[in-house]
Amino acid sequence: MAVSESSKVSIRNAHVINKGIVDLSIEDGKITEFSEAGLKPPFEKEYDVNGWLLLPAMAEPHAHLDKALTADIVPNPSGELMGAINAWIAAAEKGTFTFENTVERATQAMELLVTRGVTAVRTHVNVTAEIGISSLEALSKAKEKFVDVLDVQVVALMNSPMTGSDSQGNTSALNSAIEYGIDLVGGCPHLEPDPKKMISFMLGVAEEAGLGIDFHVDETLNSEMLTLRELALQVIDTGFPYPVSASHCVSLGMQSEETQALISRLVSDAGISVFTLPQTNLYLQGREHQEAMPRGLTAIKALIDNRVLVAAGADNVRDPFNLMGRSDPLETAALMVMAGHQSIEDAFEMVSTNAREAMGLSPASLRQGDLADMVAINAPSLGAAMADAPMSRRVFKAGKLVASSDQHSTLHKSL
């Protein structure tokens, strides 16, 4: 049943932070009212969440669903970024990835996200001269199964080089991707032979296609590599009219505080949102620094101090770029507390409301009038939800129940 066909829904006995235990009325997928629990007459359709904590649904702003869940078949012995890239290419050349198994893994990764409480995801998908748009086609097939359950934005992740004499295959793959249908244009300026030229070229192509940009930016601890500055300058100079996101921005964290502030102001002026991706950064970065090992996260404080919209994502999940990951943004949020030094509340915003805003989605912040995308979780507080991440959850998309999980434990001991 399409969400728009459902009329009135009630969520009963929800623990809403600063409101206590309340009932929610939902109409046409949006929250219309919070009322004292038990006060309203029965609704035709209602869900009792038994006093569980009700939170805004989470959003995953940076995933690689075409690569997800391959860690056991694509080893990356070096544990570094180039090791992961080379391992992926070698496996692809051996025919490890088929259309069918890519659809299957992407579907499984989407299911994991939804059951955890994610109702929107942005995924990068490899588009190269060698594989063309085959992974995009697989992603589309998987996406079809999640209509009205999970909003999926697809970024064409372009291979290098995108400019120069060897770029023909990649640029024609990008044209095919645009023709096929994508939501955003992506790539890695810091891996390009001429980052400035590549940024200029990609902004031009994206503007002509009417698409936003989401680049992997400066995924390196090398402080000399700072293409984020160039990206911000070009966005400002050209007045690029569509949304721009910069994912990773690792090397910004290696600059002096003065430089971090300067670049953050430019990024803010350009209206670029930044996605910090602690899991993959902590896994891939820093192996060459055995003394005083950097965390590899971007300059979160400088960005926030300069009013840049910062969201947090998981990036890779159980693949050669990140061996771990539970597809649970509460895991990312916990890392934002531990490794990113954010408060519990700010960390949760980064994986929910900030992520939605940066993805250009309508608000689902648990306020009257907002979209009723929500997750109820069996935890007494936000901090407890983040620390324990219990898998007793109910997930709602536009007021419709889309996933239920119940975790049961029994302790066997004599009294």
User: Of 315 and 328, which CB lies nearer to Zn ion in the complex structure?
Assistant: 315
Residue 62 beta carbon to Zn ion: minimum distance, rounded to whole angstroms: 6
Nearer to Zn ion, 81 or 300 (CB): 81
302, 268 contact by CB (below 8 A): no
CB of 219 to Zn ion, least distance (A): 8
Residue (315 or 346) nearer to Zn ion, CB: 315
Residue 157 or 376: the one with the smaller Cβ distance to Zn ion is: 157
**Residue 274 Cβ vs Zn ion, minimum distance, rounded to whole Å:** 13
CB atoms within 10 A of CB 109: 25
Task: Judge whether 320 and 70 are in contact, CB under 8 Å.
Answer: yes
Chain CA centroid to CA 120, Å: 8
The encoded tokens of residue 335 equal 């890392």
* Window 258-297: contact mask with Zn ion (x via CB under 5 A): ----------------------------------------
Number of residues that bind Zn ion (CB under 5 A): 1
CB of 31 to Zn ion, least distance (A): 33
Torsion angle of the four alpha carbons 345, 348, 352, 354, in this order, in degrees rounded to the nearest 10 = 60
SS3 at position 392: coil
By beta-carbon proximity to Zn ion, the closer residue of 122 and 356 is 122
Query: Stretches 140-148, 189-197, 290-298, 313-321: which one binds Zn ion (CB under 5 A)?
Result: 313-321
Stretch near Zn ion under the rule CB under 5 A, chosen from 1-9, 312-320, 329-337, 367-375? 312-320
DSSP reduced 3-state for 67:
coil
Q: Which span sits near Zn ion by CB under 5 A: 163-171, 262-270, 307-315, 354-362?
A: 307-315
| DSSP codes joined into one string, 166-201 | T-HHHHHHHHHHHHH--SEEE--GGGSSSHHHHHHH
CB of 146 to Zn ion, least distance (A): 21
How far apart are the C-alpha atoms of 110 and 119, rounded to whole Å? 10
Q: Between residues 244 and 344, which has the closer beta carbon with respect to Zn ion?
A: 244
Q: Which residue number is nearest to Zn ion in terms of Cβ?
A: 315
Measured distance CA(332)–CA(51) in Å, rounded: 25
Using CA atoms of 88, 92, 95, 98 in order, give the dihedral in degrees to the nearest 10. Answer: 90
Nearest to Zn ion of 315, 373 (CB atom): 315
Give the contact letters, 37-76, x = binds to Zn ion (CB under 5 A), - = no.
----------------------------------------
Tell me the window of 102-110, 177-185, 311-319, 329-337 that interacts with Zn ion (CB under 5 A). 311-319
What strand order describes the sheet that includes 212-217? 58-63, 118-127, 151-158, 184-186, 212-217, 244-248, 273-276, 310-312
Residues 6+ apart with CB under 8 A from 144: none
Note whether 315 binds Zn ion by CB under 5 A.
yes
Of 12-20, 160-168, 259-267, 308-316, which segment contacts Zn ion by CB under 5 A?
308-316
Q: Which stretch binds Zn ion (CB under 5 A): 230-238, 267-275, 314-322, 402-410?
A: 314-322
Extended beta strands in 188-272, E state:
212-217, 244-248
Q: Would you say 272 or 376 has its CB closer to Zn ion?
A: 272
| Residue closer to Zn ion, measured from CB, 29 or 340 | 340
Q: Which of 80, 79, 145, 161 is nearest to 106 (CA)?
A: 145
- Shortest reach from residue 223's CB to Zn ion, in Å: 21
Q: Which is nearer to Zn ion, 62 or 143 (CB)?
A: 62
Torsion sign over Cα 69, 73, 79, 83: negative
Pick the stretch among 4-12, 175-183, 315-323, 345-353 that binds Zn ion (CB under 5 A). Answer: 315-323
- CA-to-CA distance for 380 and 51, rounded, in angstroms? 9
- Residues in contact with Zn ion by CB under 5 A are 315
